[in-house]
Structure 1
Amino acid sequence: MSAVILLVTGIAWKNIKSLTDGLTTQDVIGEGAGGERPTDGAIDIMLVGMDSRTDSKGNPLPQEILNELQAGGSDDGGLNTDTLIMMHIPNDGGKAYAVSFPRDSYVKIAGDFGRHKINSAYGYGKSAALEKSQGEKDAAKREMDSRREGAKNLIATIEGLTGATIDHYAEVNLVGFYDITKAIGGVDVCLNAPVKDKFSGANFPAGQQTIEGRDALAFVRQRHGLVMGDLDRVVRQQVFMAGLAKKMLSAGVMTDSKKRTDLIQAVTKSIVLDKDWDITKFALQMKDLSGGNMTFQTIPTGTPELQTEEDGVAIEVDEREVKKFVANLGKAPASTSSPADPKFDPGTLTVDVRNASGVGGLAGSVLKSLVAKGFVEGEAANAESNMAKSVVRYGKGGETGADAVQKALGGMKTEQDPNLPAGRVRVYVGSDYAGPGAQSMAPKPLVALDGAHQQPATPTAPAPISADGVRCVN
């Protein structure tokens, strides 16, 4: 992923020609995509970090390299995509967005494979292609052809989920990430608390530190031991990538001939691009895309503990909300200051919110959205148990107020609760909730490309910032 950031931000655009000759390309983009100014108004680029035990040509990595990567054996992983990010760059040259897709997002996989975690879309496409090509005697050709079909199936899955048309594709593997972080001398990160995780190999003290190689891999791959699991890992990846871009924007990397040479060598042996992408021309176009012109976001999600039949615990995703979110990228948010119902005075009603969704911080976020509409602020707390459906409960004679609240939240069931006093309602936000306040739980920008801190994704106190602007994370 760090190699991809180098390419798409045009940081090394003067040297970009040196990269192109050794890059591996695949014909993965369908007809009608890939143009310089797409008719849908934006260039959408799929960036993929592969949990792969092979190089970009499909050759197995030696065991000594796998040991250094802490990646197990050559038969482990290989078909899953650890990192999925869609770069959304408007035709008008406005602010660009890097949208993360948590790897455990439970979505419809293209190719009639049913609903599974999104990180398996590549693997399903690749495995199906291998099954069909058993008569092919050329093992290298069979491998590369199946990888092409895996990428195509992943792209189709993302397009179905987002409603966007993917114009370009870039993929990097584990060894590429390792080499790139070492080539630039490491990336500055900051942790709120020390971590030690045997699965990823993450073993870091609290505070700011510079990491590279195997430590950098462990930092962006850890999810065990993090409160929000895969969602916290997405934050780790976004903050790391912002720090990486900041490092490469500094004079110490691109003006150092040895670092520049090492960087180019690392990129050329680890990147796969779509066949018709003129990366040189694109880098020239994008060389000014830096600093505050790009922000990282995450698709809206529901409960992170969705129980599935085949895939275990996954992250709930509502495809309609994802499409709406992607369609609204870059658009000004609608005003939330007007009353929910002009016939009802929200200042006469106190609202409590109970979080029954499993998404941390959601009650406070929803309550803030209601206060912005004029309702009186009550209490925000967790419910005693999670609920699948959201509901507004009201006391005797409180039907009108409850109706105003449910309309303000985008619509949900209302029901009477004799234990509630007059002039007070209580909202229970379940795992189905996707109204005001839910959008702020993931899509809100976390950190700018230059590493500057922005509003955190949850309505809690901002994470600490080190003296030089590095955002501290879990």
Structure 2
Amino acid sequence: MFRIGLALVSTVVLVFTGYAYWTLRDLAGGLTSTDVIGSELSEPDGATDILLVGNDSRTDAQGDPLPEEVLRELRTTDEGGNLTDTMILVRIPNGGGRASAVSFPRDTMVRLTDGFGTHKLTEAYSRAQNDAREDLAAQGVSDERTLDRRSRAAGQRFLIENIERFAGVSIDHYAEVNLLGFYQITKAVGGVDVCLRAPVDDSEFSGAVFPAGPQRIEGADALSFVRQRHNLPRGDLDRVVRQQVFMSGLVRKMLSTGTLANPAKLASLSEAMQDAVILDKGWDLVSFAQQMQGIAARNVEFRTIPLQDNGDGTIDADPREVRRFVDDMLLSPEERQEQARSDPERVNVVVSVFNGSGVASLADRVSEEIAAEGFGAGTVEAVDSVSRTVVAHAPEEASTGALVSNALGGVPVEVDEEVAPGTVAVFLAPGYDGPGNQNFAGEGPMRLDGSASGQEQEAVGSPQNPITANGVPCVN
């Protein structure tokens, strides 16, 4: 669920547009803080690293339960809570000039610390929080607010610890937004423009019911738009794309309409953030704003960790690949592309593409995309109908298959004894929606100002398949 980053984006846009540092000072004084980072400096890693978390908590930032009428307005109930449905790591190189944000899908399977075992990443926060709450109660702590505050801090620290371990970073700052915060912030700015490729009806789950095409959404509608993962072609992966596009749309709205130059809207935005945003204790927002001042909106990109969609509601990600990917975020886009092309693990792999989708020339385009990622080009040909898109690799070469799968947005991987060592076969089925598809938009880098980069930008705006609405990428 996407509520994160809205507070940070509001701060960043304030700086981009040069408005009112006094607003930041007043805002910082009213936000709820949590002591989850500590006073000591983090390990030097060449960047300021910020973890942005969207929590489906049914409480406000102070821990008070949301009233029933508010829950109805949010199209939810008091069941559930404290699952971190959205986690984004923002990396700002010490030299400034640009920033990168990477999404960690909620269903990514991760081996958690402290003996919790392997679970979905979304459960890390709640498992540690529940465990801490039981320990505190056993120690005689009975005050509900104290139980909530201290157990919630334990969950936040545990999530930070596990993402640091998984991604190989040292997190410097933490920001968390809940259901109420997302609702209020989108209302305060007057809605965000989005575009859907096809109509959706997810009334049974998220409440998302939208027509195809461009539309402006806010409040409960916006919440449903970014919460939906059922009845989407790629489930949570499509939701991640929606979240990234929505964030860029929010910035575009603020910049184009002068939201942050409007005193009334500034007041509403500040009030909304104070109700539902939690920051780590000691985060100096004014200093951070000054650090961000030299970063233009086009120099902030959104990406997603390398992954493999298992097709069963879970996602696998190799920690080694994730750490390398996160390290590479500190490079410029040109440096990243050059590094991928010279990577021996890619250069020595020959990838053939077999088109069973029925879409003419799709295999050629996919092969070109794969070659651009540094892999060798193999056979390209049409085959009889394929039931599902899959990356097939030789026995004992799962890591090679995973590399190609990651380049294609995390399509399923399987071993095939007929595939020769050092080669990979990609089989394209009807409905393939990754790189090389004319309608592809979102899996590659998405900039903060809403524009895509590289070849994805050309595909999104191609005359043969125009799928944008006034510069807003259309998504599933």
TM-score (norm 1): 0.80
Match of 1:250 among 253, 256, 269: 256
Tell me: CA distance 1:373–1:116, structure 2 relative to 1, closer, same or farther (3 Å).
closer
Tell me: CA distance 1:375–1:189, structure 2 relative to 1, closer, same or farther (3 Å).
closer
1:230 aligns with 2:236: yes
Amino acid across the alignment from 2:451: A
Structure whose CA Rg is larger? 1
Tell me the distance in 2 between the aligned counterparts of 1:46 and 1:362.
38
In structure 2, runs of 5+ residues without a counterpart are: 357-361, 406-413, 428-433
Which range moves more in the overlay, 4-13 or 53-62?
A: 4-13
1:321 aligns with 2:321: yes
Tell me: CA distance 1:368–1:137, structure 2 relative to 1, closer, same or farther (3 Å).
closer
Tell me: CA distance 1:70–1:457, structure 2 relative to 1, closer, same or farther (3 Å).
farther
8 Å contact kept, 1:353–1:363 = no
Which range moves more in the overlay, 375-384 or 189-198?
A: 375-384
1:149 aligns with 2:154: yes
Amino acid across the alignment from 1:178: Y
Give the C-alpha shift of residue 53 in structure 1: 0.4
Tell me: CA distance 1:226–1:409, structure 2 relative to 1, closer, same or farther (3 Å).
closer
8 Å contact kept, 2:241–2:442 = no
Tell me the distance in 2 between the aligned counterparts of 1:350 and 1:284.
46
8 Å contact kept, 1:100–1:299 = yes
Which range moves more in the overlay, 372-381 or 242-251?
A: 372-381
For residue 269 of structure 1, give the secondary structure of its aligned residue in structure 2.
helix
Superposition map of 1:26-425 within 5 A: 26-30=34-38, 32-33=40-41, 39-72=44-77, 74=78, 76-134=79-137, 135-198=140-203, 199-306=205-312, 313-331=313-331, 332=335, 333-334=337-338, 351-352=352-353, 365=366, 368-369=369-370, 375-379=377-381, 390-391=393-394
For residue 21 of structure 1, give the secondary structure of its aligned residue in structure 2.
helix
Give the C-alpha shift of residue 196 in structure 1: 1.1
Give the C-alpha shift of residue 143 in structure 1: 0.8
For residue 307 of structure 2, give the secondary structure of its aligned residue in structure 1.
coil
Aligned residues: 429
Tell me the distance in 2 between the aligned counterparts of 1:339 and 1:164.
22
Match of 1:18 among 19, 26, 34: 26
Amino acid across the alignment from 2:253: K
For residue 180 of structure 2, give the secondary structure of its aligned residue in structure 1.
helix
Aligned residue number for residue 424 of structure 2: 427
Give the C-alpha shift of residue 468 in structure 1: 2.2
Between the two proteins, what is the percent identity of the paired residues? 43
In structure 1, runs of 5+ residues without a counterpart are: 307-312, 356-360, 394-401, 431-436
For residue 132 of structure 1, give the secondary structure of its aligned residue in structure 2.
helix
Tell me the distance in 1 between the aligned counterparts of 2:148 and 2:102.
29
Tell me: CA distance 1:392–1:268, structure 2 relative to 1, closer, same or farther (3 Å).
same
Tell me: CA distance 1:158–1:339, structure 2 relative to 1, closer, same or farther (3 Å).
closer
Tell me the distance in 1 between the aligned counterparts of 2:219 and 2:116.
36
For residue 446 of structure 2, give the secondary structure of its aligned residue in structure 1.
coil
For residue 241 of structure 1, give the secondary structure of its aligned residue in structure 2.
helix
Tell me: CA distance 1:380–1:182, structure 2 relative to 1, closer, same or farther (3 Å).
farther
Give the C-alpha shift of residue 17 in structure 1: 1.0
8 Å contact kept, 2:441–2:475 = no
Tell me: CA distance 1:366–1:391, structure 2 relative to 1, closer, same or farther (3 Å).
farther
Give the C-alpha shift of residue 256 in structure 1: 1.5
8 Å contact kept, 1:84–1:101 = yes
TM-score (norm 2): 0.79
CA RMSD of aligned residues (A): 3.9
Aligned residue number for residue 411 of structure 2: none
Match of 1:466 among 453, 465, 468: 468
Tell me the distance in 2 between the aligned counterparts of 1:78 and 1:278.
29
Tell me: CA distance 1:456–1:50, structure 2 relative to 1, closer, same or farther (3 Å).
farther
Amino acid across the alignment from 2:472: V
8 Å contact kept, 1:81–1:103 = yes
Which range moves more in the overlay, 454-463 or 326-335?
A: 454-463
Amino acid across the alignment from 1:369: I
Tell me the distance in 2 between the aligned counterparts of 1:380 and 1:314.
31
